[in-house]
């Protein structure tokens, strides 16, 4: 196999894209260089098309009672697609392994917290078949805004002081595992060490949701967070670099994704081994990976991070064996983040599960794509 390295200064490229392509606000753009290693390999074995080849399909063409899922783009019954998602704050430390339920989440965010730690926010629209979800941990100030992009209910076990104003906002419906709103829905597990052994399940969560009177269907005026392909065949971003292995660069768990050409999915590794979900003994795998570069500042304690998820920035979109540079924009804390190709058009995700990695330039100035 022949390998060649291609260096791309992502920051400089993205500044040009913002001006020429997106025409966005004159806000400061988060800059981060990306080193991309391109590997020549055999063509993917799954059926693939370029974006230009994708046939036009409208929701009106769907069978009665069916719709495209807001979270995966797949065709699902309306009663499933309109179900309000629930997001869980998941412990991601080595001592918290193995996790439960992560492999079945429609969307997962991996976001830095204190020091070099990263934490997961796993967003589910359907978790009926998951016996337990966790271990659960606490929220930070930027997490409620992420969950709001999917009109979700937020389940967390604790919170930072800076998160409290957002959790108390009327736009956030949350279950707090160490307070009356959530503690009846949590339980301890004997197979995890203390501090990393708090779990919940579907029955307990929905009982608390009903008790608190939270809405269980998505808002009628909810707008799509993502634009998905209207076909189950994989579409390939035009002009993309080969992306057979993607290393994110977090120093806590050293995660990376490996592309499987047979099914067109990215299989995840962390802590130097396959990332296995204890709930089903399956390796975590997704169809889309988004890397979003965000800046941050330290709060008064010089430890708590305030990540700047509002504004504009750069990133990388990885799907169907290819990686392309992108830009992102989020106008307000409670509004959706939008991702754009260099043409200025919103990115098109392949149908299926998505993993979003928020990366701080100070933690790692580059990702590696091979």
Based on the domain organization, do 25 and 98 belong to the same domain?
no
Based on the domain organization, do 38 and 79 belong to the same domain?
no
Which pLDDT value is given to residue 129?
76
Instruction: Quote the tokens at residue 200.
Output: 């919940």
On whether residue 320 sits in a domain, the answer given is yes
Based on the domain organization, do 317 and 340 belong to the same domain?
yes
On whether residue 133 sits in a domain, the answer given is yes
Query: Which one of 182, 212, 242 terminates a domain?
Result: 212
Based on the domain organization, do 39 and 85 belong to the same domain?
no
Based on the domain organization, do 73 and 100 belong to the same domain?
yes
Q: Would you call the peptide bond into 284 cis, given omega within 30 degrees of 0 as the criterion? A: no
Instruction: Quote the tokens at residue 81.
Output: 């697609």
Give yes or no for a contact between 288 and 355, defined as CB atoms under 8 angstroms apart. Answer: yes
On whether residue 63 sits in a domain, the answer given is no
On whether residue 28 sits in a domain, the answer given is yes
Query: Which one of 166, 187, 212 terminates a domain?
Result: 212
On whether residue 64 sits in a domain, the answer given is no
Based on the domain organization, do 101 and 143 belong to the same domain?
yes
Q: Would you call the peptide bond into 135 cis, given omega within 30 degrees of 0 as the criterion? A: yes
Based on the domain organization, do 140 and 13 belong to the same domain?
no
Based on the domain organization, do 199 and 247 belong to the same domain?
no
**Cβ neighbours around 97 below 10 Å, total:** 18
Query: Which one of 177, 212, 247 terminates a domain?
Result: 212
Based on the domain organization, do 77 and 186 belong to the same domain?
yes
Compute mean pLDDT per 10 residues along the chain, 370 residues long, and list them: 34 36 38 39 47 47 93 96 98 94 98 92 89 95 98 97 95 94 92 91 95 96 93 91 95 95 98 96 98 90 89 97 98 98 97 97 74
Cross-strand partners of 133: 200
On whether residue 62 sits in a domain, the answer given is no
Q: Which domain CATH number covers 169?
A: 3.50.90.10
The 3-class secondary structure across the chain, one letter per residue, is CCEEEEEECHHHHHHHHHHHHHCCCCCCEECCCEEEEEECCCCCCCCEEEHHHCCCCCHHHCCCCEEECCCCCCEEEHHHHCECCEEEEECCCHHHCCCECHHHCCEEEEEECCCCCEEEEEEECCCCCCCCEECECCECCCHHHHHHCCCCEEEECCECHHHHHHHCCCCCCEEECCCCCCHHHCEECCCCCCCCCEEECHHHHHHHHHHHCCCCECCCCCCCCCEECCCCCEEECCCCEECCEEECCCCCCCCEEEEECCCCEEEEEECCEECEECCCCEECEECEEEEEECCEEECCCCCCEEECCCEEEEEEEEECCEEEEEEEEECCCCCCCEEECCCCCECEECCCCEEEEEECCCCCCCCEEC
On whether residue 121 sits in a domain, the answer given is yes
Instruction: Quote the tokens at residue 72.
Output: 């995966």
Over the stretch 97-112, which tens digit does the pLDDT of each residue have? 999 999 999 999 999 9
On whether residue 217 sits in a domain, the answer given is no
Give yes or no for a contact between 344 and 321, defined as CB atoms under 8 angstroms apart. Answer: no
Which pLDDT value is given to residue 81?
96
Domain assignment of residue 124, given as a range: 69-212
Q: Count how many domains the chain has.
A: 2
Based on the domain organization, do 105 and 159 belong to the same domain?
yes
Which pLDDT value is given to residue 222?
94
Based on the domain organization, do 231 and 358 belong to the same domain?
yes
Which pLDDT value is given to residue 296?
93
User: How far is the C-alpha of 155 from the C-alpha of 123, rounded, in Å?
Assistant: 10
Cross-strand partners of 109: 121, 356
Residue 85 three-state SS: coil
Based on the domain organization, do 148 and 178 belong to the same domain?
yes
């Amino acid at each position: 196999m022949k390998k060649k390295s291609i260096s791309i200064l992502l920051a400089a490229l993205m500044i040009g894209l913002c001006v020429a392509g997106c025409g966005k606000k004159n806000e400061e753009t988060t800059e981060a260089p990306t080193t991309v290693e391109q590997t020549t390999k055999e063509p993917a074995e799954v059926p693939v098309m370029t974006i230009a080849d994708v046939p036009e399909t409208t929701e009106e063409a769907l069978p009665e009672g069916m719709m495209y899922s807001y979270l995966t783009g797949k065709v699902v019954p309306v009663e499933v697609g309109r179900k309000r998602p629930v997001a869980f704050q998941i412990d991601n430390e080595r001592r918290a392994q193995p996790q439960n339920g992560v492999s079945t989440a429609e969307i997962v965010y991996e976001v830095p917290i204190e020091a070099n730690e990263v934490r997961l926010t796993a967003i589910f629209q359907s978790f009926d078949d998951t016996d337990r979800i966790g271990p659960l941990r606490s929220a930070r100030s930027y997490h409620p805004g992420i969950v709001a992009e999917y009109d979700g209910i937020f389940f967390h076990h604790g919170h930072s002081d800076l998160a409290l104003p957002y959790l108390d906002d009327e736009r956030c419906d949350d279950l707090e595992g160490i307070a009356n709103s959530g503690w009846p829905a949590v339980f301890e597990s004997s197979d995890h060490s203390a501090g990393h052994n708090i779990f919940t399940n579907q029955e307990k969560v929905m009982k608390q949701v009903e008790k608190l009177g939270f809405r269980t269907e998505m808002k009628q005026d909810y707008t799509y967070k993502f634009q998905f392909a209207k076909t189950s065949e994989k579409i390939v971003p035009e002009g993309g670099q080969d992306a057979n292995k993607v290393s994110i660069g977090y120093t806590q768990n050293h995660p990376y994704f490996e592309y499987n050409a047979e099914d067109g999915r990215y299989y995840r590794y962390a802590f130097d081994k396959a990332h296995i979900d204890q709930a089903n003994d399956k390796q975590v795998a997704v169809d889309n990976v988004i890397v979003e570069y965000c800046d941050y500042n330290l709060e008064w304690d010089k430890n708590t991070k305030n990540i700047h998820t509002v504004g504009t920035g750069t990133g990388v979109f990885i799907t169907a064996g290819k990686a392309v540079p992108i830009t992102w924009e989020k106008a307000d804390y409670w509004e959706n983040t939008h991702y754009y190709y260099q043409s200025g058009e919103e990115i098109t995700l392949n149908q299926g599960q998505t993993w979003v990695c928020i990366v701080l330039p100070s933690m790692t100035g580059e990702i590696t794509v091979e």
